[in-house]
Structure 1
Amino acid sequence: MISRVLAVAGAGVTLVGVVMLLVLAAQAGWFGPELRVVAGGAFSVALVYAGSRIYRKSGGRVGGIATAATGIAGLYLDVVAVTVIYEWLEPAIGLVAAFGIAAAGVALAVSWRSQPMAVLILAGVAVCGPVVTGGITLSLIAFFTATFIASFAAQLGRDWPYLAAVRTLPVVVATLVGIAQAVSLDVVGSDALPLLIVSGIVAAFGVGSSVELLRRNAADVMASVMAGVSAVPVLAVGTLFEPWAVTLVEGVVAIACVVVIAMVSWLPALARTILTIVGSLALLQAVLVPTATELRPLALLVVSAVLLATAHRGTSKPAYYSALAFGLFGALGYLVVSPPAAMMDARYATDEFGVVLAGVLLAIVLAGLVMVGIQLKIVEKNAQACSVVAGLASLYALASATVALGVAAIGGTTGFVAGHCAATIEAMAIAMALLAFGLKSEKYAHTALLAGLSLTAVSVAKLFLFDLVALDGLFRVGAFIVVGLLLLFAGTRYAKVFADRAAS
C-alpha cells in the first residue's frame, strides 16, 4: 500500500514538473520554444522506457506502471502544448496524434493488465490539461473527447469500472463548464455549434459504448451509470440555441433513447431506467421550451397521455413512470395557470381555451394513471387511496376547466357565474354516475358508493355555501333545480333497486 501511494505521488509530482517545463517556462521566457518541447517530449519518452525496464525487474510492477504512465501522460500534454500554445500543428493533426498516444498508453496498460495504469494516464491528462491550455477551452474539450474515444477499447472484455469513470467524467465536466462559459458570455446560435457537436458525439459514443459493454456484461453498473452521465451535456447545450433548435435536438435525443430501449434486448433494468430518465428530460425540454406558458400544462399532459397509452399497450413500467412524471409536472403547471383564486373570484378567472382542454385532459390522465398502475401492479396495494387522491384532483381540474370555459365562451362575471353553475351540475352528474355504477358492480360497489355519496355531499355543500351567494338570477335557480332533480332521481332509483332485491 505504501509503495503504491509513493509511486502515485511521484507520478503526480513529476507530471507537474513536465507541465511547468511546457507552460511556466514559456511564460517566463526560459530556453526557446523548440528546446522546451523537445526536452518535454524526450523526458516523457525516457520515462516510458525506464518504466518498461523497471516493470520487468522483480518487484518493479508498481514503480514501472507509475513511471510509464507519467511518461505517456507527459507525451500527451506535450502534443497539446505544441498544438494549442505554439500552434505548430494543425488542430486535426494534433488531435490525431493525441488520440494515438492515448490509445497506445491504454494498450500498454492492457498488455500489463493494469487498470491503475490506464487510470493514472487519463487522470494525469485530465488534471494537467487545463493548465496547459490556460483553462477550459474548445481545444481542451476536443482533446478530452479524443481521449474519451481512444480509451474505450481497453474496457472491452475487462471489468475496469474506474477506467469507465475517469475516461467519461473529464470530457463531460469540461463540456458543461464550456456551456456555462458560453451562457455567461452570451455565445449563442452558430457560435455555439462546436459545443453542440461535441455534446452530441460524447452522448452518442457514451451511450453506444455502454450498450456494447452491457452486451458483454449485463452486471456492469458503471457502464449503465456512465451512459446517463455522457448524455448530460447534450441535455444542457440547448440553453445556447433558439427554441426551435432546442426542440429539434432534444427531440432527437428522446427518440434515440426510445429506440435504444426498444431495440436493445440485453439492457439491464438500471440502464433502461437511466435512459428513460434521460429521454424524459430531453422530451420535457422539447415540449416546454417552445410552448407558451399557458399551454405548457396541456403539452405536458398530452405527452403523459401518450406515454400512458404506451405503458398500457406494452405493459411497460418505465413508460408508466415517465407518464407519471409528466403528469405530475402537468398538474403543477395547471395549478399555476388555474390557481384556486381563479375559482373564487371572477377578477382572477382565466379565459384560455388551452386551460379548459388541460383541465379535462388532467382528469383523464389521473384516472388513467390509477387504472394502468393497477394493471401493472404498481399501485395495487394502495389502489383505493390513489383513487381518492386522483378523484379529488380530477374534481378540481374539471370544475376549474368548466369555470374557465364559461369565462372564455361568455366572458366577464356572467361567464364566471355560468361556469360555476355548470360545474355544480357537472359534479352532481358525476356523483350520480358513480352511484349508478355502484349498483351494477358488486366488485366496486362499496368504493363507488362511498365516492358517489362523498361527491354528492360536496356538490350540495357547494350549492349552499358558495353558489347561493355567488350565483344570481336564472343561474342560481337552474343550479338548484337540476341538482334537486338529480337527487330525486338517485333516491328513487336506489329505492327501486333495494325494493327489487328485497322482493327477490
Structure 2
Amino acid sequence: MHNDGDRLLGLAEEIDDLRRRLGRVGGELRALRVDLGAESLGTENLGAEPLEQPALEQPVPEPVIPPQPQPQPASVWDSRPPMIQFGPAQEPARTPSLAAAWSTALGKEGAGSRLLAWVGGAVTLLGIVLLLVLAIQRGWLGPLPRVLVGAAFGAGLVGAGLWLHRNPVGRTGAFALAATGIATLYLDAIAATTLYEYLPQLGGLAAGLLIAVAGLLLAARWDSSLLAAAVVVGCAVCAPLITKGFTPELVTFLLVLQIATVPVQLRRDWSALAVAAGVPPLIASVLSTLRNPFVATNPNTIVAVVAGVVGIGLALLVLHRRPKDSAALALLVASVVPALVAALTLPRGEAVIVSGGTAFVMLGVWGAGRWLPGRAGDLAGLAGLVAALQATVTHFDGTARGAALLGEALLLLFVARWGRSLIALAGGLVFGFLGGFAAVARDLPLPLLLRVTERTTGQLAGAFAVAVLIVAVALVLPWVANKLGELRAPSEALAPWLIAGVIALYGAAGAVLSATLLIVPGRTGFLVGHVAITVSWTVVALVLLVRGISVTAMRVSGLVLVGAAVVKLILFDLSTLDGMARVVAFLGAGLVLLAAGTRYARLVGAQQAG
C-alpha cells in the first residue's frame, strides 16, 4: 500500500508539470496570434480568417485522486496537500502596515510638494523669530526699523503667495507662503504692541483684527477652509500676548473676531471655521472669570453673558442655513458655559439672575424647537435644563430645595406627556431623583417614620409637601414613560413599576404621618398616624383588587400591597405600637382584608360563571 501511495503522488507531480508546460505553450500561441493579427491589419488583408484557439489551450481537467481505504502514514500525507490545485497560487491577504499606509499617502500625486511647502513655511517662520531674537540681542537696527522690516517681510510673503496662486501648478506653495506671511504679520503686531509699545493694546488688537479680516477675504477668494481656520486660530492665539493675559478686553476682541467671520460662514460650509471662531471666546471668558473670581463689580460676568448671547445667536443663524452643521450644534450647547461658570462666582441674587436668565433663553429656544431645524431645539433644551437646575439649587435651600426640584420634575413630566418630548422625560427623571434625594435626606428622613421625633410645625408642613410631591412623581413618571413607549407594561417589565410603587408607598406613609402629627402632636399623633398608614394600605389594596379584576398590573399591585401591609403589621406595628393603637391597627387591617377577600372571591366567581 505504501508503494501505491508513492506512485500516485508521482503521477500527480507529472500531471502538474504537464499543466505548467501546456500553460507556457498556450501563452506563446496567444502572443503569436496577436502578432499575426497586427500584421494582417497592417497589410489590409481583410479576408484572413482568425486563427482558431488551439485545443491545447483548453483547461486541463483536475485529476481525481481516489480515496484510500486506510490512512497513510503522516510522513507521506502531511508533506503535500490532499488536493492538487491548478492555476497560479494565491497569496494570503496582508493587512497594510502603518509604514505602508504612510508610504501610500506620501506617494499620492502632489503629496510631496504640499509637505515640502508647509514644512518650508514653518521653518521660515521659525527663522523669522530667531532673526528677531538675534536682532534684539545684538542691537541690529532700531526698534522701529525692526517692526517695519517685519511688516514688509510678511507683506512680501503674502504678495509672493498671490503671485504664485495665478498658476495652478504653484498653488500649493501659494497657500504656504500666504499662511507664513500672515503669521509673520501677527508676530510683528505683537512686537509693536507688547515689546516696543508703539501701539496701545487697542491699536494692537485692531491691527490683528485687520490682518485676520484680510486673511479671511483671501481664504474665501481661494476657497480654502484650512487657510481661513488657520488665520482665525492664529489671531486668537496672538491676542492674549497683546493683552498680556486673559482679560475682559481679550474676550471682547475675540467676540468681534467671531462676528467678523459670520459673512464667510454663511457663504461657505466650513465647520472648521465655525469651531475656530466660536471656541476661543468661550475659553477666554471662562479663564478670565477664574483669573479674578469673587469680584464685586465684575466685568467678566458681562462679557460672559455677551459671549453666550453671541454664540447662541450665531449658532442659530448658521443652523438656519445648514441644519445638520455639527459645529454649530456644539457651539449652541457650549455657549452657556461662560455664563454658568460666572454665576458660580457671584452672590446668590446675581447668580440666580445670570443662571436663571440663561435657562429662560435656552428653554425659550427649546420651546421654539418645532420651528428650528434638526436637533437644535433638543440640544438647547438640555442646556436650558442644566441652567435651570443650577438656578434652582442656588436660589433654594432647606425644605424648599427638595420641593422645588420635585415640582419642576412634575412639570417636566406633564410637558413630556403633552409634547411627547424625551428631553422633558429625561429632565423629569433627573430632577425627580435629585429632589427626592434632597427630600429624604433632609425633610422626610427614615427616622421620622420609625420613632417619635421633635419637629416644628413648619418642618412637618414641609415634610407633608415633599411627601405628596414624591407620591405624585413616583406615579406620573412610569405612566408618562409608558405612554411615550420608553417603558413596557408591568406584565413585561415589572421591576421599574415595583420600584416606583415602593417610592410611592414611602411618600404616602410620610404624608399620612406628617398630617397626623400636624393634627395630633407627640406620641399620640405618631401612633394614630401609623394606624392610619396600615389601614390605608389595606384600603388601597382592596380598591386595586376590585378595580383590577381583569387587569393584571392592578391585581398584582393590590396583592403586593396586601403583603406589604401584613409585613408592616408583624415587623413594626406589633413591636412599636401599644395599647389601643395596636388593637385598632390589627382589627382595622384584618377587617379590611376580610372584606377584600370576600369581595374579590365573589368577583372572581362571577367572572368565571360569565
TM-score (norm 1): 0.86
Distance 1:83 1:292, change over 3 A: farther
2:474 corresponds in structure 1 to 366
User: In the alignment, does 2:440 pair up with 1:335?
Assistant: yes
2:360 corresponds in structure 1 to 255
Deviations 1:411-455 (A, max 9, x none): 55555444433333333333223223213xx3xx11111111101
2:465 corresponds in structure 1 to 357
2:316 corresponds in structure 1 to 211
CA distance in 1, matches of 2:123, 2:451: 71
- Kindly report which structure 2 residues correspond to 1:235-254, keeping only aligned pairs within 5 A, or say none: 235-254=340-359
Which structure 2 segments of 5+ residues have no match? 1-110
Give the drift of 1:69: 2.6
Instruction: Please tell me the residue identity of whatever aligns with 2:593.
Output: L
CA distance in 2, matches of 1:86, 1:348: 73
CA distance in 2, matches of 1:12, 1:66: 9
SS of 2:375's partner is helix
User: In the alignment, does 2:234 pair up with 1:124?
Assistant: yes
1:437 corresponds in structure 2 to 547
Instruction: Please tell me the residue identity of whatever aligns with 1:315.
Output: R
Give the drift of 1:91: 5.6
1:325 corresponds in structure 2 to 430
Distance 1:379 1:57, change over 3 A: same
CA distance in 1, matches of 2:584, 2:140: 95
- Determine which structure has the larger helix proportion and give its number: 1
2:576 corresponds in structure 1 to 470
Give the drift of 1:364: 0.8
Give the drift of 1:79: 4.5
1:450 corresponds in structure 2 to 556
Give the drift of 1:486: 1.8
CA distance in 2, matches of 1:476, 1:77: 87
Give the drift of 1:31: 6.7
1:156 corresponds in structure 2 to 266
Deviations 1:361-412 (A, max 9, x none): 1221222122222222222466644322211221222223444455566555
Deviations 1:25-64 (A, max 9, x none): 8899987654454444333323322222232244322322
CA distance in 1, matches of 2:527, 2:282: 56
- Say whether the 8 Å CA contact 1:189–1:240 is kept in structure 2: no
Distance 1:84 1:459, change over 3 A: farther
CA distance in 2, matches of 1:49, 1:363: 74
1:494 corresponds in structure 2 to 600
- Kindly report which structure 2 residues correspond to 1:284-303, keeping only aligned pairs within 5 A, or say none: 284-303=389-408
2:23 corresponds in structure 1 to none
Give the drift of 1:280: 0.4
1:53 corresponds in structure 2 to 163
- Say whether the 8 Å CA contact 1:175–1:199 is kept in structure 2: yes
1:228 corresponds in structure 2 to 333
SS of 1:60's partner is helix
Distance 1:470 1:23, change over 3 A: farther
CA distance in 2, matches of 1:85, 1:409: 78
Distance 1:22 1:416, change over 3 A: farther
CA distance in 2, matches of 1:388, 1:25: 79
CA distance in 2, matches of 1:27, 1:434: 91
Distance 1:435 1:169, change over 3 A: same
CA distance in 2, matches of 1:288, 1:19: 51
Instruction: Please tell me the residue identity of whatever aligns with 2:165.
Output: Y
User: In the alignment, does 2:283 pair up with 1:173?
Assistant: yes
Which of 463-472 and 100-109 deviates more?
A: 100-109
CA distance in 2, matches of 1:427, 1:238: 46
2:224 corresponds in structure 1 to 114
Distance 1:39 1:96, change over 3 A: same
CA distance in 2, matches of 1:21, 1:277: 52
Q: What RMSD in Å do the two structures reach over aligned CA positions?
A: 3.3
Instruction: Please tell me the residue identity of whatever aligns with 1:238.
Output: A
Which of 56-65 and 210-219 deviates more?
A: 56-65
- Percent of pairs with identical residues: 36
Instruction: Please tell me the residue identity of whatever aligns with 2:169.
Output: G
Give the drift of 1:263: 2.8
- Say whether the 8 Å CA contact 1:342–1:348 is kept in structure 2: no
Distance 1:502 1:141, change over 3 A: closer
Which of 17-26 and 387-396 deviates more?
A: 17-26
Give the drift of 1:359: 2.0
Which structure 1 segments of 5+ residues have no match? none
CA distance in 1, matches of 2:585, 2:139: 90
Instruction: Please tell me the residue identity of whatever aligns with 1:218.
Output: P
Instruction: Please tell me the residue identity of whatever aligns with 2:364.
Output: V
Give the drift of 1:462: 0.8
- Say whether the 8 Å CA contact 1:19–1:132 is kept in structure 2: no
Instruction: Please tell me the residue identity of whatever aligns with 1:126.
Output: A
User: In the alignment, does 2:505 pair up with 1:378?
Assistant: no
- Say whether the 8 Å CA contact 1:349–1:404 is kept in structure 2: no
Distance 1:470 1:349, change over 3 A: farther
Which of 379-388 and 147-156 deviates more?
A: 379-388
- Say whether the 8 Å CA contact 1:359–1:400 is kept in structure 2: yes
CA distance in 2, matches of 1:390, 1:269: 34
SS of 1:189's partner is coil
2:375 corresponds in structure 1 to 270
Distance 1:396 1:16, change over 3 A: farther
CA distance in 2, matches of 1:331, 1:447: 25
Which of 253-262 and 380-389 deviates more?
A: 380-389
Of structures 1 and 2, the one scoring higher in RCO (CA 8 A, sep 6+) is: 1
- Say whether the 8 Å CA contact 1:22–1:37 is kept in structure 2: no
- Say whether the 8 Å CA contact 1:98–1:146 is kept in structure 2: no
Instruction: Please tell me the residue identity of whatever aligns with 1:189.
Output: A
CA distance in 2, matches of 1:30, 1:286: 59
CA distance in 1, matches of 2:463, 2:189: 59
- The size of the alignment, in residue pairs, is 495
Give the drift of 1:262: 3.0
- Say whether the 8 Å CA contact 1:15–1:124 is kept in structure 2: no
Instruction: Please tell me the residue identity of whatever aligns with 2:538.
Output: M
- Kindly report which structure 2 residues correspond to 1:41-120, keeping only aligned pairs within 5 A, or say none: 41-76=151-186, 78-79=188-189, 95-120=205-230
CA distance in 1, matches of 2:417, 2:525: 38
Distance 1:252 1:473, change over 3 A: same
CA distance in 2, matches of 1:354, 1:23: 70
- Say whether the 8 Å CA contact 1:80–1:132 is kept in structure 2: yes
CA distance in 2, matches of 1:81, 1:301: 58
Distance 1:70 1:342, change over 3 A: farther
